[in-house]
Chains A and B, each alone.
Chain A
Amino acid sequence: MAERAGHRGYIGARPLNGSRTPQHVQNIVIRDYARRKNLQYLLSAVEHIMPGSYMVLEDIVDELPRLNGLILYSIFMLPPDEARRREIYDRVLREGCDLHAAVEEIALSSRNDIQAVEDILLVNKFATIL
């Protein structure tokens, strides 16, 4: 197997939970996370601004055989559809990779980690933030 390259960053142009973070700030957060976790950061890909588009995330998932994993700016950048998220977790783990979310400092590296991530996403979906 060819040597794997590192962790691909993943940022976006859509607001998250009603807030907007400039793209260069998202990159700073990811780069700092990678440095603290001793991960080799690879230049981030930027998801499309169109609501519901995850084409860029799909490209990164296709790239996983050549990566150690990916670092999302936030766990809330994952698709809202649970089945689609679980496909992503499956492919990440099947390729021997891991998935990180820099803002929340979450790492998903085994099946045991999936429920913790899903709990955060589901609670966020239903809970009210004042």
Chain B
Amino acid sequence: MIDTDFLQADEQALAQRFIDDGFVTTPADDRAGLDRIQRRAAELAADYLKLPHSNDPYAMLDTIHTRVSVDDLNGLRLHVFNGLNAEPWFRPTYFRLARSTIETIVGNELCMQRRVNLSIQMPGDDSSLLATHSDVWSGDSPFEVVVWVPLVDVHRTKAMYLLPPSLNGDMQDRMASLRSAEQLYKTIQPHATFIEIPYGHVMLFNQTLMHGNRVNEETGTRWSMNCRFKSIMSPYADKRFGEFFEPILLRPATRVGMQYKLPGGFHG
């Protein structure tokens, strides 16, 4: 139970779901913005493959495995990643997809990862998997959250898996006795949940929990984006302010406070 009377009932419910489940999924706050991102990603993919732009960006992305080889996949991914991140509207739009949820879970003075990541998981491809991990283990602060946005429907192995908060601590305690991340996955596998997210929805998850993905055994290609947000004044880890994060919302009271100097010149 979140012990506060200062939140609205819907905010309390959202906060409780995040604490209990380790994630929340909600419809995108800015659906038109999400469609714009999806359309631009499909256009960039078509440009890379020297194809005409499609009138059906969803189908273009979901069936990309019929048009590109595994060897060329990272080239395609980098082209779309760089193209999206070069658009001046992209990061503000990405933030707006989940703004209400971010502000409820994290706060309203925020910094954001400088480049939004892009993953493409084609059916049967084992070349770009993410082994079981917590982001904190690779230098992220436990005060961060991840906003994870699919550009197609995701379910089962086309999605990512997450270990529930109730089990994460016990599994971490056993971790030092394991040799590799693959062994770790085999240990948590019975408890890991693949999260179903239809296109049009976004997920915000607790990246201190173990998560990752497996070979996509579904029929369509997964396209997903992820980006970290944190309260600007909360502690940082190896992913530093300035080099990895940049401020996106800093309120006037904080600006005033940072600039204030007490009167000087006393000689008592």
Contacts and interface: CB of A to CB of B under 8 A. Distances in A.
B180 interface: yes
A24 B238 contact: no
Contact of A62 (B128, B182, B184, B240): B182
Chain B residues touching A, majority SS: loop
B207 to A, nearest CB: 13
A35 to B, nearest CB: 15
B238 A58 contact: no
Contact of A49 (B74, B127, B139, B175): B139
B238 A13 contact: yes
Contacts of B48: none
Contacts of A22: 238, 240, 243-244
A46 B138 contact: yes
Contacts of B89: none
A13 B180 contact: no
A58 B180 contact: yes
Interface in B222-260: 237-240, 243-244
Interface string A1-27: 000010000000100000010111000
A116 interface: no
Contact of A23 (B128, B139, B175, B182): B139
Interface in A37-71: 43, 45-50, 52-53, 55-56, 58-59, 62
B136 interface: yes
B181 interface: yes
Given A22-B244, A55-B184, A13 B139 contact: yes
A55 B180 CA distance: 4
B181 A56 contact: yes
B182 A49 contact: no
Contacts of B238: 13, 20, 22-23, 49
Nearest to A3: B71
Given A13-B238, A24-B243, A55 B181 contact: yes
A45 B180 CA distance: 13
Interface in B146-177: 175-176
A46 B131 contact: no
Contacts of A52: 176
A49 B136 CA distance: 8
A19 to B, nearest CB: 13
B181 A59 contact: yes
Contacts of A24: 243-244
Interface in B43-76: 74
A64 B75 CA distance: 23
Interface of A: 5, 13, 20, 22-24, 43, 45-50, 52-53, 55-56, 58-59, 62
Interface of B: 74, 127-128, 131, 133, 136-139, 175-176, 178-182, 184, 237-240, 243-244
17 contacts: A13-B137, A22-B238, A22-B244, A23-B238, A48-B133, A48-B137, A48-B138, A49-B137, A49-B139, A50-B137, A53-B176, A55-B175, A55-B178, A55-B180, A55-B184, A59-B181, A62-B182
